[in-house]
Chain A
Amino acid sequence: MPEIAWREALNQALSEEMERDVNVFLMGEEVARYNGAYKVSQGLLDKFGSARVVDAPISELGFAGLGVGAAMVGLRPVIEMMTWNFAVLAMDQIVNNAAKLRHMSGGQLRCPIVFRGPNGAGGRLSSQHSQSLEANYAHFPGLKVLAPSTPADAKGLLKAAIRDDNPIIFLEAELLYGVKGEVPTGEHLLPIGKADLKREGKDATIITWSRMYYFAEQAAQLLEKEGIHVDLLDLRTLKPLDEEAILASVRKTNRAVVVEEGWNFCGAGAQIADLLQLKAFDELDSPVERVTGLDVNRSYAAVLEKATEVSAERIVAAVKKVMYREEGT
Chain B
Amino acid sequence: MPRNTWKFGPRPDMERPGMAPQYSKELLLSMYRKMYLIRRFEERAAQAYTQGKINGFCHLYIGQEAVAVGTTEALRPDDYQLGAYRDHAYPLTRGADPGMVMAELFGRATGYCKGKGGSMHIFDVEHFVLGGYGIVGGQIPLASGLAFASRYRNDGRVTVCYFGEAAANQGAFHETLNMAAKWSLPVIFLCENNRYGMGTAFARVSPMPEVYKRAAGYGIRGEPVDGMDVLKVYEAVKDCAAWARSGKGPVLLEANTYRYRGHSMSDPATYRSKAEVEQHRKGDPIPKLRQYCVEQLKIPESEFEKLDAEVKALVDGAVKFADESPEPSLDELHEDVMVEPGEPDVKPRERVLGAKVEWPRWPGPQEYRVTWDLEPRAQAEEAEQQAGLKQPARA
Residue pair B367, A22 in contact (C-beta under 8 Å):
yes
Residue pair A51, B130 in contact (C-beta under 8 Å):
no
Residue pair A52, B370 in contact (C-beta under 8 Å):
yes
The answer to whether residues A22 and B175 also contact, given A67-B145, A104-B117, A109-B345 and a CB cut-off of 8 A, is no
When distances are taken between beta carbons in the complex, the residues of chain A under 8 Å from B366 are 21-22
When distances are taken between beta carbons in the complex, the residues of chain A under 8 Å from B373 are 49-51
Q: Is B114 an interface residue (CB 8 A)?
A: yes
Q: How far is the CA of A64 from the CA of B171 in the complex (A)?
A: 13
Residue pair B337, A103 in contact (C-beta under 8 Å):
yes
Q: How far is the CB of A101 from chain B (nearest CB, A)?
A: 8
Q: How far is the CA of A22 from the CA of B370 in the complex (A)?
A: 7
Q: Is B376 an interface residue (CB 8 A)?
A: yes
Q: How far is the CA of A68 from the CA of B130 in the complex (A)?
A: 12
Q: Is A178 an interface residue (CB 8 A)?
A: no
Residue pair A110, B339 in contact (C-beta under 8 Å):
yes
The answer to whether residues A62 and B175 also contact, given A67-B145, A72-B146, A97-B138 and a CB cut-off of 8 A, is yes
Residue pair A22, B369 in contact (C-beta under 8 Å):
yes
Q: How far is the CA of A64 from the CA of B348 in the complex (A)?
A: 28
Q: Is A270 an interface residue (CB 8 A)?
A: no
- B192-200, B240-248, B357-365 - the one binding chain A: B357-365
When distances are taken between beta carbons in the complex, the residues of chain B under 8 Å from A102 are 336-339
Instruction: Pick the contact of B141: A21, A33, A69 (CB < 8 A).
Output: A69
Chain B residues with a Cβ closer than 8 Å to the other chain, count: 65
Q: Is B172 an interface residue (CB 8 A)?
A: yes
Question: Closest B-chain residue to A65, C-beta based?
Answer: B141
Q: How far is the CA of A70 from the CA of B142 in the complex (A)?
A: 7
The answer to whether residues A141 and B337 also contact, given A51-B152, A56-B179, A106-B112 and a CB cut-off of 8 A, is yes
When distances are taken between beta carbons in the complex, the residues of chain B under 8 Å from A73 are 80, 130, 145-146, 149, 360, 362
Residue pair B130, A109 in contact (C-beta under 8 Å):
yes
Residue pair B374, A66 in contact (C-beta under 8 Å):
no
Q: How far is the CA of A69 from the CA of B113 in the complex (A)?
A: 19
Within 8 A of A (CB), among B320-376: 335-339, 341, 343, 345-348, 360, 362-376
Residue pair B374, A104 in contact (C-beta under 8 Å):
no
Q: How far is the CB of A157 from chain B (nearest CB, A)?
A: 16
When distances are taken between beta carbons in the complex, the residues of chain B under 8 Å from A97 are 133, 138, 142
Residue pair B374, A50 in contact (C-beta under 8 Å):
yes
Q: How far is the CB of B160 from chain A (nearest CB, A)?
A: 13
Interface 1/0 per residue, A10-37 and B, CB below 8 Å: 0000000000111101000000110000
Q: How far is the CA of A61 from the CA of B112 in the complex (A)?
A: 29
When distances are taken between beta carbons in the complex, the residues of chain B under 8 Å from A224 are none
Instruction: Pick the contact of A59: B115, B179, B335, B345 (CB < 8 A).
Output: B179
Within 8 A of B (CB), among A55-92: 55-57, 59, 61-75, 77, 92
Residue pair A57, B179 in contact (C-beta under 8 Å):
yes
When distances are taken between beta carbons in the complex, the residues of chain A under 8 Å from B121 are 104-105
The answer to whether residues A108 and B347 also contact, given A68-B141, A93-B138 and a CB cut-off of 8 A, is yes
Interface 1/0 per residue, B121-157 and A, CB below 8 Å: 1010100001101110010111111111101100000
Q: How far is the CA of A71 from the CA of B339 in the complex (A)?
A: 14
Q: Is A96 an interface residue (CB 8 A)?
A: yes
Q: How far is the CB of B359 from chain A (nearest CB, A)?
A: 9
Instruction: Pick the contact of B380: A33, A49, A107, A165 (CB < 8 A).
Output: A33
Q: How far is the CA of A281 from the CA of B111 in the complex (A)?
A: 44
Interface 1/0 per residue, A91-124 and B, CB below 8 Å: 0110011000111111111100000000000000
For the complex of A and B, the 10 pairs showing the least CB-CB separation, nearest first, are A69-B145, A65-B141, A74-B362, A62-B175, A106-B113, A107-B346, A69-B142, A21-B365, A59-B175, A105-B123
- A residues near B (Cβ < 8 Å) are 20-23, 25, 32-33, 48-52, 54-57, 59, 61-75, 77, 92-93, 96-97, 101-110, 141-142, 144, 165-166
Q: List 13 A-B contacts (CB under 8 A).
A: A22-B363, A22-B367, A62-B172, A62-B175, A66-B148, A66-B176, A70-B145, A75-B362, A96-B135, A106-B116, A107-B345, A108-B348, A142-B338
- 14 A-B pairs besides A69-B141, A72-B130, A106-B112 with CB distance below 8 A are A23-B362, A51-B370, A59-B175, A62-B141, A63-B141, A66-B145, A70-B145, A73-B362, A97-B138, A103-B117, A105-B113, A106-B115, A106-B123, A106-B336
